[in-house]
Structure 1
Amino acid sequence: MKQLFKILFSLFLILWIALLLYVNIRLGFLPELEITPDGVVNQDVLHQLYFLKKELHKNQAGEQMQQLYPEGLLFINSLYALTWYDLVKDLKYSSPYYKEAIQEIDWVLQRVQSDEARSIFSESLEIEYGAFYTGWSNLILGRKLLLLKPVDRSADDIRLFKSKCEHIAGFIKDSDTPFATSYANQAWPADMVICVTSLPMYDHLFEPKYQYVTRQWIKKVQQRLDTVTGLIPHSVHAQTGYPEEGARGSSQSLINCFLPEIDPVFANNQFLHYKQFFLDRRLGLPGIREYPEGEFGIGDIDSGPVIWGIGGAASVVGLRVMSIHNESDVAVGLRNSIEGFGAGWTSGDQKKYLFGVLPIADAFIAWANSGPAIKASMLPDWRRDFLIYSTLTSLAIYPLLYWMWRKSTR
C-alpha cells in the first residue's frame, strides 16, 4: 500500500511538472496569420469558427447550451455570428471567407429570429422581447448590414433593423431609467448597452439620427453608477435603474467591449476604473477579477468559474477589452494564458478548447480572439515571472522525488 501511494504521488508530481512545462510553452503562442490577396486572415480564429460550425450545424450545440442556462441558444449563436463579422470585415468582397461569413450570419439570423429562440422572452416588455433578446439579435442584423454593399442589403433586413432601433430609442426617450428589463422586473445594464450599440450603427449605416438620444442615455447612466467603483452596475432596480448589485467583472468586460462604439470619452473613463478595480495578476499572469478587490464572491451562471478571485468569463472577454483599448501586453498575457490553461488544440481545420466539452466557452474565446490585432514585447514581465515561479516549483519537486525513491531503494 505504501509503495502504491509513492507511485501515485510521484506520478502526480511528474504530471504537475509536465503541466507547468506545457503552459510555459503555450505562453509563447502566436496566432497563425494568412496573407491572402483579399486581406489578412487569422487562421486560428477561422479554425475555431469551423469547430463551432460543426457543433452548431451538426451537433445542435445551441440546443445543448439552452439546457445549461436560459439564453444559451441565443448567446452561442450571437457570438458565432459576431466572430464571423470580425474575421472578414476588412477583407475584400471577393474573398471566399467573406461569402462564407454572410452565409453563416444569415443562418444565425434564421435561428435567433425563430419562435424557439424567442420562446423564453416576453413580447410585452418595454422593448419587445426584452433588452437581452433585442440587443443581441439587432446587433447581429446591424453587423450583417455593415458587411454588405448598400445595393445588396435586403429591404426586410433594413426595415427590421430600423424598427428595432426606433423601439430602443423610444424607450430611452420615454423612460426614467436607462435600463430596460430583459425579463419581467429584472434588468441588467449590460443587456441595454448591447441595445444602445445599435443606435450609432444606424447613424453609420443611414443618416445621423440618434446622437441626441444616445447622449440622453449616457447622462441617465452616469446618474446611476456603482458608488464604490464608479462603474456601470451589474444589476439594477427595474423601475428606477439604481444599483442593486455593484460592478462585476463578467458584465464589465462585456460592457467595455461596446461602450467605445457608443461614447468614446465615457468609455475611456469607464475603462480606467475597470482596470483599477478588476485587472489583477496571479503568479505574474494577468486576469480579470469577478469582484472588486476586497469583495468576496463565488461563481454563478454569469461569471463561469471563479478561481482565486479571477473570473473565467471576465478574463476571456477581458482579452477583447484590452485589445480594443490597445493594452497590448495585457491582451497577449490573457490570450496566451487562455491558450495554456484552456488547452487550445488544433486538429485539421478545427480548433477547440477544454477538449470541446463546452462549446459556448469556445464561442467566447473565438469572439475574444477576433478583436483588434495585438502586438507585444517578445518577453513581457508576466511571462518571465511565471517562468521563474514554474522553475522554482520544479526545482523543489526534483529533490523530493529523489529523496522518496533513494530512501525506498535503500
Structure 2
Amino acid sequence: MNRRRREPGRLSRALRAFAWGLAALLAVLAIGRVVLAPDPSGAGGTRVALAQLAHLRPELEARADAMQELFPEGRVFTLALYGLAWVDVGRGSSDGALRARSLAEARRALVLAEAPRSQAGFGEAGGLPHGIFYEGWTAHLRAGTLHLSGEDAARDTAFRAACGRLDAAFRSGGPFLDSYAGMAWPGDNAVGAAALASCGTLLDARYTRTAQGWLRAALRHADPATGLLPHDAGLPNPRGESVALMIRFIHEIDPAVAAAQYAGMERTFATRLVGLLPAVREYPRGVRGSGDIDSGPVILGVSAPASVVGIAAARMTGHHRAAADLRATPEVLGAPLQWRGRRSYAFGRLAVGDAFLAWSSVVRPWNVPAAPPSSSTPYTGWRVGWCGVWGLLLVLALTRLVRIFRRPAAPASTFHGPAARTHRAAPALPQTEETT
C-alpha cells in the first residue's frame, strides 16, 4: 500500500525529467542547425548541394515523374533544376574529374527533359512548338552544358534551332509568350530570355540584343507601386517566388536591372518567420493571399519556394550574407537527413524542392561577370535573436534537470503512516501452563 502511494511521485519526477530533457535537446538542435548551416558562398555549401544531388541521382526519372503527379511542369522542372545545379557545380570547380562528372549528369538530365515523355504535356503556344516554359528551360539547360563543356556551340544543331525559335517568338509576340495556349507568366519568359542571352554569348550577338529588347518591354509592365515585374502576364501584381526567380535570369541580361529588382524584392517581400527566421513573403506586405501550385502553402505570409529561390536571387546580385541567412532556414524547418553522402529535406518526399534548394545554393552567372559582393542583409541580428531565445530555454531546461536529480527521493522504509502503526500485530506471548 505504501509503495503504491509513493509511485505517483516517482512517475511525476520521471515525466518532468523527460520533458525538460526533451526541451534541452530541441534547444541544442535549434542552435546547432543555425550555427552549422552551410554558407552557399563557401565550399561547405557546395558539399551539401552535392549530397542533395547524390540523393536525387538514383531513380532520377522516377522522382521527376512523382513530381509530375503534383503539378503539370513537375517532371521538366525537376530534371532541369537537377541538370542546372550540376552545371553550376562544374563551372565553380577547378577539379577536372568533378567537372566531367557534372557535365555527364547535366547531359543526362537534358536527354530526359527533351524526351517525348517530357514534351507530352506541352502543346504549341506562344509561337513555339511546346510553349515558352518548356522551350525556355530546356534551351537554358542545353546552353549550360555548352558553357560547361566549352564546345563549339555552332556545331550543336539543336541549340542553334532553339536559339532561332526563341528569337523569332520574342520578336513577333513578346514580351510575355504563352506557356500554354492563353496562359502566360513572366517568370517563364525570363528563363527563355536568359537562354537567348546565352545564344548571344555562344553564337551571335544579335540574340543578346533580342534578350535586352525583351527586358525593356517587360519592364513597361512592372508594378507601378514597387517597380517589380508581375507574376501573371495579365495582372500587375508581383509575387515573391516569381520575382526572386526572375532576378536570377535577368542578371544574365542586365545586372543593373537585376540589382534594382533585388532591392525592390527586399523592400517588398523580405521578412522573418515568427519574428526570427529569415524568409521571403509570397505576397507584398499588407496583401493577403492563398497558396497555389507556384507558391505552395503560404504560412504566416511566407512561401517556401519564394524563400528558397530568394537564395539564388541574393547570390546572383552579390548579397552573399543575405543568401547565407536564407539558407539557414531550411536547416531549421526542412528536416534535413544525411546518410552515406546523401542528403534530403522534407524526408525526401519532394524531389523538386531538393533540386530547387541545391540549384539556388550553387547558382552563378554565365554570360556576365559576378556581381560585386555586398554584406548588406535585411536579416541583420537574427542569429543572435534565434540563439538567444533557444539559449534561454536550454539554460532553463538544464537548471530544472539539475534540481530534479539533486532532490533526493524519500527512502522506501522511513515512513509507515498511522494506519500501519494501528494494524501492527502484537508480539506473541510465550506459552506456559498458567496461560493455558
TM (normalized to structure 1)?
0.84
Query: Which residue number corresponds to residue 115 of structure 1?
Result: 116
Q: Work out whether 1:295 is the aligned partner of 2:296.
A: no
Q: Work out whether 1:348 is the aligned partner of 2:340.
A: yes
C-alpha displacement at 1:29, in angstroms? 1.8
Query: Which residue number corresponds to residue 44 of structure 1?
Result: 48
- Taking the aligned partners of 1:182 and 1:382, their CA distance within structure 2 comes to 39
Amino acid aligned to 1:64: A
Amino acid aligned to 1:88: G
Q: Which one of the candidate residues 254, 260, 270 is aligned to 1:269?
A: 260
Query: Which residue number corresponds to residue 97 of structure 2?
Result: 96
C-alpha displacement at 1:348, in angstroms? 1.2
Bigger Rg, which one: 2
Change in Cα spacing, 1:41 to 1:236, as seen in structure 2 (3 Å) is closer
For 1:137-152, list aligned pairs within 5 A. 137-150=138-151
- Taking the aligned partners of 1:284 and 1:139, their CA distance within structure 2 comes to 36
Partners of 2:319 and 2:374 within 8 A in 1: no
Change in Cα spacing, 1:6 to 1:55, as seen in structure 2 (3 Å) is farther
Q: Which one of the candidate residues 235, 243, 253 is aligned to 2:244?
A: 253
Query: Which residue number corresponds to residue 178 of structure 1?
Result: 175
- Taking the aligned partners of 2:299 and 2:400, their CA distance within structure 1 comes to 28
C-alpha displacement at 1:82, in angstroms? 0.5
Aligned residues: percent identity?
A: 29
Q: Work out whether 1:129 is the aligned partner of 2:126.
A: no
Change in Cα spacing, 1:90 to 1:334, as seen in structure 2 (3 Å) is closer
Partners of 1:55 and 1:359 within 8 A in 2: no
Query: Which residue number corresponds to residue 387 of structure 1?
Result: 387
Once the two structures are superposed, what CA deviation does each residue of 1:73-132 show, in whole Å capped at 9, x if it has no partner? 10111110001001111434x722222222212211221111111111113542221111
Task: Give secondary structure in 1 for the equivalent of 2:279.
Answer: strand
- Taking the aligned partners of 1:8 and 1:184, their CA distance within structure 2 comes to 61
Query: Which residue number corresponds to residue 162 of structure 1?
Result: 160
- Taking the aligned partners of 1:307 and 1:402, their CA distance within structure 2 comes to 38
Query: Which residue number corresponds to residue 78 of structure 1?
Result: 80
Gaps of 5+ in 1: 238-242
- Taking the aligned partners of 2:164 and 2:213, their CA distance within structure 1 comes to 15
Task: Give secondary structure in 2 for the equivalent of 1:42.
Answer: helix
Amino acid aligned to 2:73: E
Partners of 2:30 and 2:390 within 8 A in 1: no
The higher-RCO structure (CA 8 Å, 6+ apart) is 2
Q: Which one of the candidate residues 22, 26, 31 is aligned to 1:24?
A: 31
Calculate the aligned-residue CA RMSD, in Å: 3.4
- Taking the aligned partners of 2:35 and 2:330, their CA distance within structure 1 comes to 12
Q: Work out whether 1:105 is the aligned partner of 2:106.
A: yes
Partners of 1:214 and 1:262 within 8 A in 2: yes
C-alpha displacement at 1:19, in angstroms? 2.8
Q: Which one of the candidate residues 55, 58, 71 is aligned to 1:69?
A: 71
Change in Cα spacing, 1:310 to 1:11, as seen in structure 2 (3 Å) is farther
- Taking the aligned partners of 1:150 and 1:388, their CA distance within structure 2 comes to 52
Amino acid aligned to 1:49: L
TM (normalized to structure 2)?
0.80
Change in Cα spacing, 1:295 to 1:398, as seen in structure 2 (3 Å) is farther
Partners of 1:41 and 1:87 within 8 A in 2: no
